[in-house]
Each structure stands twice: as structure tokens, then as C-alpha cells.
Amino acid sequence: MIQVMRAGLREMRVEDLDAVMDIERRAYEFSWSRGNFVDSMAAGYIAQVLCDEQSQLQGYFVAMAGVDEMHLLNITVEPRLQGRGLGLQLLDGVLLSATVHGAGLLWLEVRPSNRRALELYERYGLHAVARRRAYYPALVDGRAAREDAIVMSSPVENLRQRRGMD
């Protein structure tokens, strides 16, 4: 039997990992490993993929539900498809997951150099609340270095109202 998939978000499966890793490696200089995704799924983190009408993977996210909060660990859109609103669709999926898990707060870290992501998160309604020094690996003039992280957060209810989900 052929399984037909509608476009949209669904749970990430092990068989998605080849496509996920292809996108991950092209999107980031310091990408997650396959093991990071496998461990996240095994730990029960929320891991979803966004597919088009032909079931082609367009993006994904991994988030960890905690006590009264949701921590977005990874969100990635296929680099060739960026700028088409798919990041907003993925964030809406994170927000719905946060709601289902009773999270009152959504938060994440982002590189200051990732201007596109920062602008997306600010447009979505997240606000910078802290800075983590030397959080991310980086290269400066071909040498190993570290880059800070901007911690961003917002109450889930504020985001739901902003996105018209109430």
C-alpha cells in the first residue's frame, strides 16, 4: 500500500534523518550530528518535519519540553527555500507543541551573526533576555573560536495571541 502524505508538519522519524542531515549540513557550518537527532528522538523531545505536497522535507525543529517551558533546540529551513514563510510555519508548530505540553514560556538561543534568524524570532514576538558568552563554536580567520548566544524568550500566551491562535 502506498502511503500518501499531506503537506504540513508531522513527527520526525528515523527514516527522515538522511534528508534532515543533508539540510543540516548545508544550512550550518557547525551542524548537529546524526547522533544529536537520534538522541533527541530517543529522549522523547518534540521533533517534527515540515513536508510539501510531494512529501519532500522542507524543514524541521527539535524542542524540549520542561516544567512550564519549551526550549527550542534546533529549527532549520531548507536553505533554497528560506524567505518563503516556512520558518513561521515551523515556529507555529513549536508554539502548538508548547501549548499541548502546558508550557508557559518559549525560549531559545541564537547566534548574533545569524541576522536572518534573529529578525524572524523578533518578528514572531520573541525578545532578547540574556547573552551566553562563548556558547557556540565558530571560526575566525580560519581558527577555532567561540561565538556568544543571544537568549530569546516570550510567554506562550503572548505568542498565541500575536499569531491569532486563541
Q: Using CA atoms, how far apart are residues 115 and 161, in angstroms rounded to an integer?
A: 25
Out of 24, 45, 78, 121, the active site residue is: 121
Domain positions in the chain are: 8-162
pLDDT in the model for residue 166:
79
DSSP strand E in the chain: where?
8-11, 46-51, 57-66, 69-77, 105-110, 127-140, 143-155
Q: Which of 149, 155, 28, 164 is closest to 92 using CA atoms?
A: 164
Does domain 8-162 match CATH 3.20.20.70?
no
pTM here is: 0.93
pLDDT in the model for residue 4:
45
Phi, psi of 60 (to 5 degrees): -165, 165
Specify whether 109 is catalytic: yes
| Distant-in-sequence contacts of 122-125, Cβ < 8 A, 24+ apart | 122/152, 124/88, 124/91, 124/159, 124/162, 124/163, 125/154, 125/158, 125/159, 125/162, 125/163
Q: Which amino acid is at 80?
A: R
pLDDT in the model for residue 6:
57
For residue 69, the SS3 value is strand
Specify whether 45 is catalytic: no
Tens place of pLDDT per residue across the chain (166 aa): 444 445 799 999 999 999 999 999 999 999 999 999 999 999 999 999 999 999 899 999 999 999 999 999 999 999 999 999 999 999 999 999 999 999 999 999 999 999 999 999 999 999 999 999 999 999 989 999 999 999 999 999 999 999 999 7
